[in-house]
């Protein structure tokens, strides 16, 4: 009777042990896959950090260029700089606003183009006549 009772306990225990050990064998192939995923995540994080650094560096340079162009426009005698909005993206300066003459627009374009770090100037200035005709 004791043997029968022991057999009833041992067989289920062995079967349970086998069932529980199957995932551990399967885990070997997924652990290398998981290791690769962790490595890829680390690589992606490194790339993101580099991109953030370069983006921040470019933004700081663009801000410096914008400040230099605004200062140069303020010093220019023939330019009404308060009417001109200056922005810079990737070293490309954009001038926007309304100016009273095409000569002033041309002067602003020339002054902006001479600033340090400027790759090109996008002139979006509008010439608006201040004289009214009734």
User: Tens-of-pLDDT digits for all 134 residues of the chain?
Assistant: 566 666 666 777 776 776 666 665 555 555 566 667 666 666 677 777 777 777 778 888 999 999 999 999 999 988 888 889 999 999 999 999 999 999 999 999 999 999 999 999 999 999 987 644 44
Instruction: Decide: helix, strand or coil at residue 53.
Output: helix
pTM: 0.60
Domain boundaries, the chain: 2-127
């Amino acid at each position: 009777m004791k043997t029968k009772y022991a057999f009833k306990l041992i067989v289920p225990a062995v079967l349970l042990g086998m069932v529980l050990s199957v995932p551990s064998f399967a885990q070997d192939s997924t652990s290398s896959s998981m290791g690769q995923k962790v490595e890829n995540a680390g690589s992606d994080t490194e790339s993101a950090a580099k991109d953030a650094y370069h983006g921040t560096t470019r933004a700081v340079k663009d801000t410096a260029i914008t400040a230099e162009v605004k200062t140069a426009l303020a010093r220019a005698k023939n330019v009404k700089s308060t009417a001109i909005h200056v922005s810079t993206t990737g070293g490309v300066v954009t001038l926007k606003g309304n100016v009273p003459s095409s000569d002033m627009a041309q002067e602003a374009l020339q002054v902006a183009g001479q600033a340090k770090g400027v790759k090109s100037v996008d002139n979006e200035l509008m010439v608006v006549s201040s004289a009214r005709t009734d």
